[in-house]
Structures are given as C-alpha cells and as structure tokens.
Structure 1
Amino acid sequence: MAQNASRRSLLARLATLPVTAAEVIPAAATPAEADGLLLAAIDRFRNAVAAHNVALAADDDAMERYDAPEFPETLYVRNTDCGLVVPVGYSGRGDERRYFKEVTIEYLRKVPCERVVTHARPATMEDGFTEKEVTSGIDIVVRHTREPWPEAQARADEIVAAWDAWQAEVERRCDASGRTAAKAALDATQPAYVAARDALLETDARTIEGVIAKAAAIMECCYPGADGELDFASDVEEAFAGPALALTLTRNLHKLTRVA
C-alpha cells in the first residue's frame, strides 16, 4: 500500500508539469507509438529484473540449505604469535577474538619467516676508530642480519594449512547445498540486467505518459522496509547507480517542458 501511494504521488507530480510534446513528436502520433522504443526498453528491463529475482530466490534457498563449517581454532591469534612477520597485523574489532586475515595468510604462504639477529663486537682501529676509542672499551661494532626463523615458520605453515583445509570444506559444502550453482546462475543474470537497466536510462521518453511509465518501472525496484515505508534512496542507489536515474528523468522532462 505504501509503495502504491508513493508511486501515485510521484506520478501525480510529474503529470502536473507543463508539456510541449508537439515540439518533440508529430501531433498525430499516439503515446504508445511515440514511446515505442521506451516501452520496449521497459519490457526488457522488467524481464531482466524478473530473471534476476528468480535466480536471487534460488540463491536464498541454497543459502538456507548451506551449513557453514566452524571457523578453525588454528586461525585465531595466539599470544605467542606476536613475533610473526606480517604486513597488516590482525583483523578483529573491539573485544572480539582476533584472527588472521586472508591477505596475511597469503603473505605467510609466499614469504618465509625470518628474524633479525644482532651481532655485536668490540670496535678495532681497523674499523676506523681511534686508539683512544678502542682502548676505552665503550665503542662496539653492531651488525644486523636476517636469518630463517624455524619456530615462526612452523606456526605460519600451520596457519596456511588450516586455512586451506577450511576453504576446501567451505567449497565442498557450497557445492553440496547447491549454493555454488545458484551463485553462478545469479551472477549470470547480472550482464543482462545491467544492459537492460542502461538501455532504460538511455532511452528517452517522448511524451509525458512515457516519463510516467519510466518512473513507474523505476519505482518497481523499491521495496517497503520494516516500517512499511519505501526506502527509495537506498533501493534506487543500488539498482540504478544513483545519479544516472536523476539525469534520465531530468533530461526527459526538460525536453518535454522547454519553451522554444
């Protein structure tokens, strides 16, 4: 009910705008004739949305059947992991347990664990120090090297192996539940939807009836929220990539209402 009321309100406002349609189309043409291309674009868009919604429902059903495997205990950060050389630290928020991110795991897969070893010895005159500096016993020569770190490498290998096993189990359960196939089918509807959406946006309305029809097709992508009200801004932003929607209706109305 809220959706229909909102749509009627929008279309009523559009219908009150001044029109000089004779400047755009032959006077003898009917609205259906003048907007034939637009009406075809609207049908194409509605068919694409319908196909997408069917695939989306199948994906939702598969998701209901999917039983996600437990997140591996091995992938949670341990107090002894603080020495691991990683590029981005750990993921996690607030008081939640921290766990290794995929990007960190891929780093551990590719880069051997090393630690910095410090070598220090008394300075000599051959090192460029003076006799006084050498005899003072204060100056030393310090050198740092990077060396393999077996303990950290063992932990890194454990993390990578646990991640791979978990990912394999996720994939197996996705296949068994039909989620993999449903996701592929849903993704396959996207190109047709995008092409139909863009065609709708790019096809001009040549009559005020065409503008109303285009607006109605657009409003069909809006759904009532928990409070029963249409979330127009959010739904349209998701379906039509935002500004393109305002531009198409503004362009069409401008063509119909401009004064010669």
Structure 2
Amino acid sequence: PCDTNNDHLDADSKAFVTDCDSFGYCAINGTCLPRQCRRDEYILSSLVDANSPIPPLCPPGSFCPDSASGCLALVPVGGKCQLNRDDECQPPIQNIVSSDPYDQMQASAAICLLGTCMYGNATLGSACISESTTYVGYDISGMSFSNQVVRDNCIENQGYCDQTQNICLALKSLSSSCAADRECQSYNCNSNNECVIPPESAIHVARWIYVLVGLGLSTAMATILAILILMHNRAQNAHRIMLEEYYKEQ
C-alpha cells in the first residue's frame, strides 16, 4: 500500500520521493504500479526490473512527470509545473519571443520558475522573476555541503536577474566584479569575486606564436639537414683518402 499524500521532493537533493520503490509509482487507489514512462533515453541498470518492462519515452508534445505515472500533455504558459522541469512547458511559437541583437532566438524555450511555466524572454532593464534552490550533499566523512542554483527568465546569454532589484542586468565581461557565476558572460566568478575565463575553455594561441614555432621548426630541420650533409661529406672524404693511400701503397 502507498499514499499519494506522501509524494514529495527530498529536502536536500530535491529528488522525487514516494512510498513505492524505484520501479513503481503510487496510484490514486493506494497501490504501487509499474512506472508508465521515463525521462532519460538511457537508464541505469539499477532501475531495470526483470519482472517489469522498461517504461517508454513520451512522444513529442508530452512529458513524463516526476511520479512516472504516465505521459501528460505539455503545460501552456501560466500553467503549473514541477521543480526544474522546463521540459514540462510548452515551447513558444517561433518569433513571438524577444531575440538578441544578433537575431539569435535564444529565448525560444519556455522555462519553469516558481512552479509556473513562462517564457525566458525578459529583456535588459525589464522586470524579471528568479528562483533560488539550495541543494545539500554529504561528503565521505558525513559533512554536509550546499550548492545554490538561481534561475531566472532573462534572455539566455544576454542578462541575469538581479535579486535585489528584480531587473534584468547585462552579463558582465572578464575582470568585472561579480557575486555569482551567472552574472558573468564566462559563467565563472572566482573566489576573488571577479569574472574570469572558465578552466574548461579552449586555449586561444596568438598567431605570432604559430609563426614563431613554424620558423623555429624550419630552422631546426634545416640545421639538422646541414649537419647530416656535412657529416656525410666528411665521411666520404675520409673514405676517399683511405682508398687513395691504399692504391699508392700497391
């Protein structure tokens, strides 16, 4: 037996918790039934039950809720959605959301904030909505650590929602002062509260370095070739002198 009233999100990890095991969901009649759908294309072997078929993925235009009780139609803007489940929201029709100055439709997806589906199209200087979620984990010694994730409806890669003013502000360039990663264009605010290049970014080498390395390699190859030719000539001369002396003695 199970009770749907016990369905909730874990306070630390925000994972969905139910009275049923990982292979089932709690139905309205208070019984655990096999899951009817799944979100992930690839599933862990620990989530596979030999006695139950693998639940299917939901078709386009629908989503699998946290309970996995069955596919549901996408939620329109203004409708209710579950925590961090942007995939539950119905995407906007093309060209009805704001684009960035480079005509890239970066706000072409709906997002779920504060349990409501909305468009991520708040422009710079306009009012915005943000959602702060704290995740708690535990290390091998049992000590807890937390990670705060703040999401907003400002246009992606253009601005962030300032939580004190609730206004979209422009992303900050390198070396600018910052308080969180999301404020930087590089999405990396270091311990000195400064926007810096993220460690995983590609290293851009200046052109003059390529030229210098090319010249160095060419010079090294030419030098080695010249040394080899010189050594070869000396060996030939020594061999020729030896033959001449041999013939003279004969």
- TM-score normalised by L of structure 2: 0.19
Higher relative contact order (CA 8 A, sep 6+): 1
Higher share in strand: 2
- Give me the TM-score of the superposition, normalised by structure 1: 0.19
